[in-house]
Every structure is written in C-alpha cells, then in structure tokens.
Amino acid sequence: SAEATGACDFALAHVCAGASGAAALADALRRTPALRTLRLHHCGLLKSDVQEIARALTYTRIELTVLSLRQNRIGASGAICLAGWLRTDSRCLALDLTKCAVRSTGALALCLALTEDSSAFTEMVARAVAAGTAIARETAATIEQWRAQHQDAAAEGRVHGARSRRRMGALMLADNSLGDVAAAAVGVLVGQGEAAPR
C-alpha cells in the first residue's frame, strides 16, 4: 500500500520495488525537496537500491527528518551509503534500520557519521585489531571505506555545502547482528550524546 500526504510524507509497505522502482524513487526524491518523512517498509530493497536512494538524498536539497527502511536487506554496504548521506546532511532526526542486516560494519559506519569526534571509535577498533579479532579487521576496513566514500563525495563538489547539525533523536538497529565491536561503538555514540539508539 502507498500513502502520500501533500509533498511532505511518503510511505510504502509490502511492495516489491525492485531495481527499476528504486531508480524511479531516487529520481522522484531529486524532484521533491519538501519531503520530510520517507518510510519504505518490507519493500525488497537491496544494497544497490539504497545506494541510489542515498545518492539522491546526498546530492539534493531534501530536508528529510525521518527515514525508515525496516525489513529491507540493505546489508552493510547499504548502511555505509546511508552513513555518507548522514555525514553530509545531519537533519535526519530518526533512522530506522530494524531487520536490515546492517551487520557490525554498517553499524560502525553509521556511528562514525553521527559523531563529531571519531577518535574514540578509531582507538577502540585499533585495540581490537591488535588483539587479532577478524571482525575488528573488517571493521577497520569499514572505517577506511567510509572515509574514502565521504572524501569522494566532497571532491565531486556536488554536496550542497555544510548544513546545520542537529542531534539524531533515534537510531533503530534492532534485529541486526551487530557483534561486540559495533555494540561498543553504539555505546560510545550514546555516551557522546549524539543519538539515542533503540
């Protein structure tokens, strides 16, 4: 079912969007700057679909405050794309990625995007890498991937400048396999007062 309220809110649930649907949605986002709430629940979105959506959000002046993608298998790569958007546009106040298979690497990328000071995460991961854990090595690679992606977006010059920063009120990551390192990162984020995970 689909529901639209003016030009500000859009919700779609239990409809398989597919690649063409995601591309059409991304195109529509570019032409709907007044959109404030976007809910796409259980729409069969994959990481490539979320990459399209994240690109549209990153390079368009949309003041989206609520994004809910619950029950879509966007994976860590999809979460990393969303992290790139969050870093360039911090107006989002609520992000729901419940049951999205974001895994530890995706969760860490989101934490990095939402903090002003990433040194706490970097140090924590460095300690875990020194201890020789495989997930820490994967997480360290995520940090570098996220930083490279963010630098690429800035270098392209298509991001609309620095935007005012607001703290996210809710980051929902329930029913994702986060692992110890990412769970600790979420704890650091909460400790910094940047978000209230649920």
State residue 135's pLDDT score. 57
Query: How is residue 141 written in tokens?
Result: 């690679």
pLDDT band at 101 (very low <50, low <70, confident <90, very high): very high
- Of residues 62 and 173, which shows the higher confidence score? 173
- Of residues 106 and 166, which shows the higher confidence score? 106
72 pLDDT higher than 70: yes
At 33-70, the pLDDT tens digits run 889 999 999 999 999 999 999 999 988 878 889 999 99
Does the pTM surpass 0.85? The reply is: no
